[in-house]
Amino acid sequence: MTPNNVQAIERSAIKKLTLNIVPLMILLYFLAFLDRNNMAYAATALESSLGLTASAFGFASGIFFIGYFIFEIPSNAGTIKFGPRIWFARILISWGIFATLQGFVRTPTELYICRFMLGVCEAGFFPSVVYYFTVFFPEKYRTKILGLFIIVQPLSNAIGSPISGLILNIDHAWFGFEPWQLLFILEGIPPLVIGLFLPFIIKNSPREVNYLNIEEKSWLIENTERTRSGSKITLADFMKGMKNKKYLLYAMLNFGMVCGIYGFGMWLPSILTAISGDDIFHVSLIALLPYGLAACLVYPWSLWATRTKKIAVFAGISMVTAAVGLLGAVAFFHYSLFIALGFLCIAAIGIYTAGPCFLSMPANVSTGSATAAGLGVVNCIGNIGGFVAPYAVGVLKDVTHSNTPGLIFLSLCLVITGLVCIFYCAKQREGVIHS
């Protein structure tokens, strides 16, 4: 077979895999982010209806990640035990139930329980999807594929913020439900419904798909070390991955990055309200700007990182850029809405472009089910930042009556993480693309 023929087979296989796998995973992750973050836009309504303080709101936002943390690794083991086809469906159905139940809470305690259980049920979804990509895509394509996938993070906010704002702007109750209740109910039902059909849509490994021809399937099996992940894998293999110390390092770095992502995402509507004084619907429209710009730049940044192969350096530059954006927003917070918003746009771009480059590194540390285990550890410990960041920002706001200390805290998390990526991770094998 000539090199031209091999390249044609490769292009055809990757195109088919991308079209059949990535759009569905993007949709599922979009729904996950929508249900995680819609509470940010209901903050004022929840404060009025349930009597939440800023710190209580931060706790309710962050307790999601405590449930996520506790059940992350067991959930990843479930992906190996039962296969992505069945396990993804279980995750979607259960998280859809508790996302919807948030619309029926009457007390802060009930809200805490629902948020905690939402984290329990969704635990393992993100690292399992990243692992799923390692099963189907060779190493040199993963940063680009993750770039497409992680566009969802800013895109879900760019699209979800006006949708949430529109629902919350309803003037009268529907069927006896307040707008904030409708928000949780209407955005919680879709994953539940999709989960019922998911086992009939996705496959566990390249060997099972029917849209690749024999030559394409043979090329894929030959060019990925992880195709065996879809067949005979033991939990003993999984446990080996948890003992790899590099995963602990990337888990700590992920903590810093997640502090930036979720602290920024959960508090951006409140920050914009403090800056502009607009109602929540107008704030949701203003939020389109930073999220929209970030969504436009995530994939090009991933392509550039892939071409240079220096993914650790690109991840670090993104995080340092995000920190500069947050500090700029702090500096101009009380002086100029437009300049502060411009710096928030820079922060959003830095935060969201960091993800694909950063996550490509732990995904390339090992092979097989060890990858699933390692990604579980990275996401599990890292997502503690999802609890720490909004809660810490909320406490700092209650104590100081200002958003400034919280933004400085998030900036420090991002700067430290970014510098470690640039000066340490860039020298590690997984810090560059080898194929």
155-170 pLDDT, tens per residue?
877 787 778 778 877 7
What pLDDT, in 10s, does the model give residues 366-389? 666 667 677 777 877 887 887 787
- pLDDT (average), residues 244-263: 85
Q: What DSSP state is assigned to residue 261?
A: H
Per-residue confidence at 260, pLDDT binned at 50, 70, 90? confident
> Which residues on adjacent β-strands are paired with residue 174?
177
pLDDT confidence band for 230 (50 / 70 / 90): very low
Tokens of 190: 């879709």
Question: Residue 198 — very low, low, confident or very high, per pLDDT cuts 50/70/90?
Answer: very high
pLDDT at 229 over 60: no
Is residue 227 over pLDDT 50?
no
Average pLDDT over residues 183-198: 93
Q: Residue 278: pLDDT above 80?
A: no
**pLDDT value at residue 232:** 46
- Nearest CA to 383 out of 15, 76, 69, 56 is that of 69
Number of domains in the chain: 1
Token pair in block for residue 34: 């929508």
What are the residues whose beta carbons fall under 8 Å from the beta carbon of 5, sequence distance 6 or more? none
Give the per-residue pLDDT at 424: 92
pLDDT in tens, 33-91: 888 878 877 877 888 888 888 778 878 887 887 888 888 778 877 887 888 889 999 99
- The residue among 289, 292, 318, 313 whose CA lies nearest residue 425 is 313
SS3 of the chain: helix, strand, coil, percent, to 5: 85, 0, 15
pLDDT bracket for residue 101 (50, 70, 90): very high
CA distance 417 to 162: 32
**Domain enclosing residue 392, as ranges:** 3-431
pTM of the predicted structure, to 2 decimals: 0.74
The better pLDDT of the pair 377, 109 is held by 109
Residue holding tokens 């209580």?
A: 56
For the cut 80, the answer to whether the pLDDT of residue 255 exceeds it is: yes
**What is the CATH classification number for the domain harbouring 214?**
1.20.1250.20
Residue reference for tokens 């509507």:
269
Asked whether the predicted pLDDT for residue 279 surpasses 60, the reply is yes
